[in-house]
Structures are given as structure tokens and as C-alpha cells.
A = this chain, B = another copy of it.
Amino acid sequence: MKSDPVLDHLVGYRLKRAAVAADAEARRVLEPFGVTPARLATLILIRANPGCDQTALGRALSVNRSSAMKLVNLLSERGFVERRPGRNARTNALFLTPEGEAQLGAMIDAIERSDEEMAARLTPAEQKVLRALLDKLAPPDTID
């Protein structure tokens, strides 16, 4: 089975292949914690923005309110996230539970080890360049 020059030349295609491989590996190492990469990102964003509401969280994750709901529901069932009364009667304020805080450290250790293992195919200098180039393609401050 031959590859094809058209496919190989597309940045988007290579980006996706690399992202899919990284996602599968991240999923694997996070499985023991009962979370997926998206759910871990949710936990990290709630920790960084304690008391945020679901709509803002969804925007930061690039999903809609309904999808943000599902993420929070699941993390709340797992006992990692807590909904408290928000700044008005129609918003929730999201917080990590003590359990969530406690486990998040180990989850981050796991994902960072896995990420570093993948990135280790590049030299530290190359990693820095890659991060910078990816930023130019999709800046992290796209978050509201």
C-alpha cells in the first residue's frame, strides 16, 4: 500500500495523524483514572478558573452548553467536580472537590509523562519550535 504525495503534503492531514496518535496514547494512560483527555482538560480548566460557569467552560473547550453539561455531569458523578450556587440564580459555580484536587495531580503526572514520551522523538530545541509553530496555527489564547 503506497502513500500519496498529495496526502503527505497536506499539513492538516499530518497534523491529524499526529493528533490521533497522541490522543489514543493519552486516552490509554488516563483510563485508570476514569477520565479522557477532554475530561482532564475540563478538570484543569475548572482548577484554573474556580467558580466558573458551564457556558464559559464550554467556550474554553470549544463545545456547546449541552456538551459542557455532559462533561460536568460525568465528572460530578465521579466525584471530581462540584456545582455550587453561582453569581445569580441561573448559573452554577464549578469547583473541584477535594477528591478531584487530590486525583488531578496524579492525572497530570500521567499525561505529562505520556506527552513527554511522545515529544521525546524530538530534541528539546525541536519541541520548542514545534510548540511555537502550533501556537501560530492555533493560538491557545483563542480561549475567551
Residues in A lying within 8 Å of B, measured CB to CB: 1-4, 6-23, 25-26, 37, 41, 44-45, 47-49, 52, 56-57, 59-60, 62, 108, 111-112, 114-115, 118-119, 121-122, 126-127, 129-131, 133-138, 140-144
Contact = CB atoms under 8 A, between A and B. Distances in A.
Secondary structure at the A interface, as helix, strand, loop or mixed, is: helix
Given A21-B138, A140-B3, A143-B1, A14 B45 contact: no
Contacts of A135: 14
Given A22-B15, A60-B1, A7 B133 contact: no
A60 B126 CA distance: 28
A108 B11 CA distance: 13
Contact of A45 (B7, B119, B122, B133): B7
A7 B37 CA distance: 11
Nearest to A2: B48
Contacts of A131: 9, 11, 14
Contacts of A60: 1, 3
18 contacts: A1-B45, A1-B60, A1-B143, A4-B44, A6-B112, A7-B41, A9-B131, A12-B111, A15-B134, A16-B37, A17-B138, A17-B142, A18-B137, A18-B138, A19-B20, A121-B137, A126-B136, A129-B133
